[in-house]
Amino acid sequence: MKTQILFDNDGVLVDTEHWYFTASAEILNTMGFHLSEERYREIMINGQSAFLIAEEAGIPISETDQWRARRNELYQHYLRTEEIAIPGVKEVLAELSESFRMGIVTSALRCDFELIHASRGLTDYMDFVLCSGEYPRAKPYPDPYLMGLERLGGEKSETIIVEDSERGLRSAVGAGIECVIVHNRFTESHDFSKATHRIQTLEELLTLLT
């Protein structure tokens, strides 16, 4: 019986995947590099940086670090100005919180996460949030979800993970925890063959788990 849930954030609770890609692609374009969605998805699956395409061309990391800073500023601009809410998410979390302990395990920077959730009320239903840099190795390594499990304190058999990307699924599988994949247009081409379940919307989680 499942009693606790670990959620990814971007693409699961908020619709931000596209804007992170857009900010990365726009900064790279100003520096003469084209980042296609297909290449970005390949890089994303392995948990690597979009600026890998510049580093592969010989641009030193000291320089791409400056580009990352500009990308982060642009991404935060989009977070402030674009609609990133996913309809129905808050209602689903409110209902699930009556029966489940829950946490968020995300690859987002803490500053971005706090900007995203400043007034959404979604974190009110969570026991904790783990962000980038707060676990030893990022997804697709299992470390983030193993730490999330430790925070919840239960057993793997009592836990389910909700993800939208192959990178996150690999992390879940590596941690030995069942994983539900919720549909996201941006990641729909990823390999989800190892997922325990696949759903179209987060609302379906209610039927699946309750």
Q: 187 and 174, same structural domain?
A: yes
String of DSSP letters for 115-167: HHTTTT-GGGG-SEEE-TTSSSS-TTSSHHHHHHHHHH-S-GGGEEEEESSHH
Q: 51 and 135, same structural domain?
A: no
pLDDT, position 67: 97
What's the CA gap between 75 and 14, in Å, rounded?
14
For 98-124, what is each residue's pLDDT tens digit? 999 999 999 999 999 999 999 999 999
Residue type, 157: S
Q: 122 and 37, same structural domain?
A: no
End residue of a domain, out of 37, 55, 81: 81
Entry pTM: 0.96
Q: 21 and 9, same structural domain?
A: no
pLDDT, position 188: 92
Residue 152 belongs to domain spanning? 4-14+85-209
The number of distinct structural domains making up the chain is 2
Instruction: Name the nearest CA neighbour of 131 among 142, 144, 118.
Output: 144
Residue 210 pLDDT grade (very low, low, confident, very high; cuts 50, 70, 90): confident
Helix (H, G, I), strand (E, B) or coil at 6: strand
Q: 183 and 99, same structural domain?
A: yes
Q: 124 and 184, same structural domain?
A: yes
Q: 62 and 51, same structural domain?
A: yes
Q: 168 and 146, same structural domain?
A: yes
For 25-70, what is each residue's pLDDT tens digit? 999 999 999 999 999 999 999 999 999 999 999 999 999 999 999 9
Q: What kind and span of H or E run contains 186? A: none
Respond yes or no on whether the N-terminal peptide bond of residue 144 is cis (omega within 30° of 0): no
Q: 143 and 95, same structural domain?
A: yes
CA-CA distances (angstroms) from residue 157 to 123, 160, 171?
24, 8, 16
Q: Where are the alpha helices (DSSP H) in 13-118?
A: 17-30, 37-45, 52-56, 61-81, 89-96, 110-116
Q: 107 and 28, same structural domain?
A: no
Q: 90 and 47, same structural domain?
A: no
Q: 142 and 118, same structural domain?
A: yes
